[in-house]
């Protein structure tokens, strides 16, 4: 199988650099890959070659993550609305007219906002542990939900442990039966960026704002129901944050949604990229261009 080269690029959106990975023929159908917390487009490094044989694959780093700019939290409003604003600017700058989106973790509320605002552009959605239903939220969210309800300094400080090296590795390893499949550069690179000066404050701001994503769930459901957008959910069923019922819940609004579970954790692509890649290719082949 011939795989296309991956290009590493940056573009400026409203004065900030957005880094992205790009592969595949420019005239092929586009797939936009949106990463989650605490990672970057690096999480898609093994999936991009699988998809780029037939598709034009684009994977940006969100502002504050990876190799994109991360302005100081006191000078930039770290909200999911604002992260989406820059991805919208990125889509507009690249002139993307029609594309499928793959969303994971934080990439889900960004991608779903993007879809609601641009329904005519979205050919399909792949959700890899990208939640849109309250059924999908595990008990692991309780400390964050407490901060939403009572945004005190104490509750904020109680979340600082979410950005430690131990927690990052725990996210990668939980639910994984063969930990030797998890590449150490994955969690090590994530931690490198998390450990940047005051980046932890960025993450705390986003933990607080995640409440807006839950508040938007009915809006996302309305979009699903009205658009009947084709959707594939590929889910690590041992995810400590987003539970399998969250994947099944897509069928409430999208009866034709395809839901596939894999015996792994949150970062399912680390352990099951070939199986998930095969499901995605099968799904993408059914979409209208």
> Hey, which bits of the chain come out as E strands?
6-13, 16-23, 30-34, 56-60, 99-103, 122-127, 231-236, 258-262
Q: Is 7 exposed, middle or buried (0-12, 13-18, 19+ CB in 10 A)?
A: exposed
Residue 14 is encoded by which pair of tokens? Answer: 């409203």
Within 8 A by CB and 6+ apart from 197, the residues are: none
Cβ atoms of residues 188 and 85 within 8 Å: no
Q: Which residues are catalytic?
A: 266
The CA distance from 214 to 155, in Å, is 19
- Tell me the CA distances in angstroms from 68 to 111, 247, 267, one per residue in order: 17, 30, 21
């Amino acid at each position: 199988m011939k795989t296309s080269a991956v290009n590493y690029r940056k573009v400026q959106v409203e004065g900030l650099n957005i880094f992205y990975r790009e592969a595949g023929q420019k005239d092929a159908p586009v797939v936009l890959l949106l990463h989650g917390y605490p990672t970057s487009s690096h999480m898609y490094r093994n999936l991009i070659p699988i998809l780029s044989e037939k598709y034009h694959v684009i994977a940006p780093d969100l502002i504050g993550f990876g190799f994109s700019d991360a302005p100081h939290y006191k000078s930039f409003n770290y909200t999911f609305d604002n992260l989406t604003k820059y991805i919208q600017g990125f889509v507009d700058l690249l002139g993307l007219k029609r594309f499928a989106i793959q969303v994971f973790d934080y990439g889900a509320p960004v991608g779903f906002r993007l879809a609601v605002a641009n329904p005519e552009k979205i050919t399909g959605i792949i959700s890899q542990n990208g939640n849109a239903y309250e059924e999908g939220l595990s008990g692991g969210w309780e400390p964050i939900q407490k901060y939403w309800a009572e945004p005190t300094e104490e509750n904020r400080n109680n979340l600082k442990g979410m950005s430690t090296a131990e927690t990052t590795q725990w996210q990668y390893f939980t639910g994984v039966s063969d930990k030797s499949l998890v590449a150490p550069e994955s969690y090590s690179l994530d931690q490198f960026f998390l450990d940047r000066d005051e980046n932890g404050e960025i993450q705390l701001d986003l933990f607080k704002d995640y409440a807006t994503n839950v508040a938007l769930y009915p809006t996302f459901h309305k979009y699903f129901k009205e658009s009947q957008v084709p959707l594939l959910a590929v889910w690590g069923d041992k995810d400590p944050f987003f539970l399998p019922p969250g994947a099944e819940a897509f069928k409430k609004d999208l009866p034709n949604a395809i839901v596939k579970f894999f015996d792994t954790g949150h970062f399912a692509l680390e352990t099951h990229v070939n199986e998930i890649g095969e499901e995605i290719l099968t799904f993408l082949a059914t979409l209208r261009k």
